Chain A
């Protein structure tokens, strides 16, 4: 397998399950475990893979987070456009993700906090007051149905035959 092809195939498996054992990747792709380790290390070194996260069902977690999507309208700057403001907002640990998007507003943030008040306070005192931020709209997340391709409700079990010729 070509190196680029190997990377693509391994990435496809990791995107579905980041905890897939190296031995299984190797067996699936007919590679040696060493080749798999090396390819993954290479992708980490090249910052193609930046990290591995768990998909958590907050409803079942003890320390529930309050999460909100914040739409941010930004006054672009002559030299840097949206980048300076986006970089400044990205530095807050409360800000989980930052995307520049097309459409009615410019940046789409995901913010986490311990309570509604906590998030509301953060938005009012830190985000809305940032230089370059023209307006914000906060949408608290009420329920998760799907994240990163994973459904949060189990598909109903259906009767499956145990032996089919």
Chain B
């Protein structure tokens, strides 16, 4: 019996029912059911959390530092975060009032969106992008408006495209560079041009910089550091990628006091605080984790060089990404759609890549290969992809 009157579905909210189920869910399930797959589909570091960070978490437990912390997070961690942000990529923030510790960047993003959006407001974000952006916006009853980025621009965001998408209802511009899934980054000039548009149209900028420390080659300061931007930007970053701490679920947001205060209100009623143990580990990461962070970054950087060369050598056009641990080769030449390519590659060669369409419709014709996997596996995966393409021709 599951007619509409007796089904539990009758209690579900309309905007949740209409939330699209991820189109590649079936593909993920197929991958998970198969053995001996080499997966280039994993968007998390393959490194184990550095031992000193794990050890700091154990020590926190041993000392009994296992209680609630301030809603904003331990002041010692906020101080360390603000010092780190200022030294490495962002503006100076006041640890007492302009920084909040969250359960992953995902929570921080949810908090700031809920804090600033009214039903019907429009949020601009760029596609291809991380899978949670549009649903998180939709869950605030606001409207998610994608701006397409393309191969011709190395998937950097074109300020003119942003400008064209702006309507009187546009309130927020959500950025994610270095980008998941493309690995694209913004140049200093690109950031300045986008900042100019944001200021002219009085937009709040939410900058998800979770991959910032995994930048290769020239780096430029956060968009929050540009003139006129600090007061209209909320900078989000965390420990998952740079310090290989995904399971700790620990991140932070920095921004103007009133916005952080509003985020804190939601956070205190929903999450209360981030895990005290994870916070202790995060302090250790910032204070003593630089060598390990740099070692991992260098390894990703070299893997990127290898994988981009291999893909281009086998005829899959692939631009040189500026950061993160993803490459986004074009597979149009094979005559297959992204999903067909990923499905057949999985079945015929047991290599998992993620169809570009998982990250937005404009990802059609591309697949995401993550190089957060050991070099030996990457080499085998590249051989298998070459064989796969060879068999298609």
Chain B, range 337-393, C-beta contacts under 8 Å to A: 352, 354, 358-359, 375, 379
Q: How far is the CA of A24 from the CA of B32 in the complex (A)?
A: 30
Q: Do A162 and B42 form a contact, CB below 8 Å, given A24-B306, A27-B306, A27-B309?
A: yes
**Contact between B131 and A165, CB atoms less than 8 A apart:** yes
Q: Which residues of B contact A (CB under 8 A)?
A: 22, 27-28, 31-32, 37, 39, 41-44, 48, 130-131, 302-303, 305-306, 309-310, 352, 354, 358-359, 375, 379
The chain B residue with its CB closest to the CB of A164 is B43
> Smallest CB–CB gap between B304 and chain A, Å?
9
A28 in contact with B305 given A163-B39, A163-B352, A165-B354 (CB within 8 Å): yes
State whether the Cβ of A160 lies closer than 8 Å to any Cβ in chain B: yes
B352 and A162 within 8 A (CB): yes
* Closest Cβ–Cβ distance, residue A54 to chain B (whole Å): 18
A161, closest chain B residue (CB): B42
> Given A162-B37, A162-B42, A165-B358, A27 and B32 touching (CB < 8 A)?
no
Q: B32 contacts A28, CB within 8 Å?
A: no
Interface set, chain A 151-165, CB cutoff 8 A to B = 155, 160-165
Q: Which residues does chain B contribute within 8 Å of A24, judged by CB atoms?
A: 306, 375, 379
A160: chain B residues within 8 A (beta carbon): 42
Instruction: Name 11 interchain pairs, CB-CB below 8 A, sorted by A.
Output: A27-B305, A27-B306, A28-B302, A28-B303, A155-B48, A162-B28, A162-B31, A162-B32, A162-B39, A164-B41, A165-B358
**A163 touches which of B302, B310, B354, B359 (Cβ 8 Å):** B354
Residues of B close to A165: CB separation below 8 A: 22, 43, 130-131, 354, 358-359
| A161 to B43 alpha-carbon distance, docked (Å) | 9
> Does residue A147 face the partner (Cβ distance < 8 Å to B)?
no
- Complex interface: chain B residues within 8 A of A163 (CB): 27-28, 31-32, 39, 41-42, 352, 354
Question: Chain A: interface secondary structure?
Answer: loop
Across chains A and B, which 6 residue pairs bring their CB atoms closest together, nearest first? A28-B302, A163-B41, A27-B306, A164-B43, A165-B131, A163-B28
Task: Give Cα A161–Cα B27 distance, bound, in whole angstroms.
Answer: 14
Q: How distant is A150 from chain B, measured CB to nearest CB, in Å? A: 15
| Chain A proximity of B238: nearest CB distance (Å) | 15
- Best-buried of B37, B130, B302, B310 by chain A (most CB within 10 Å): B302
Rounded to whole Å, the gap between the CB of B176 and the closest CB of chain A is 13
Closest to A25 in B: B302
What residues of B have a CB within 8 angstroms of the CB of A27 in the complex?
305-306, 309-310
Taking A162-B39, A163-B42 as given, write out 5 further A-B residue pairs in contact, using a Cβ cutoff of 8 Å, ordered by the A residue number. A29-B305, A160-B42, A162-B32, A162-B41, A165-B354
Query: Given the complex of chains A and B, what is the CA–CA distance between A29 and B303 in angstroms?
Result: 9
Chain A residue numbers with a CB within 8 Å of B306 are 24, 27-28
Q: Is A5 an interface residue (CB 8 A)?
A: no
* CB-based nearest A residue for B181: A165
Question: Which residues A31-80 have CB closer than 8 A to chain B?
Answer: none
Which residues in A have their C-beta under 8 angstroms from that of B354? 163, 165
CA–CA, A165 and B131, complex, Å:
7
Shortest Cβ gap from A34 to chain B (Å): 16
Confirm or deny: A30 has a beta carbon within 8 angstroms of a beta carbon on chain B: yes
Contacts of B303 in A (CB 8 A): 28
Residue among A24, A29, A162 with most chain B CB within 10 A:
A162
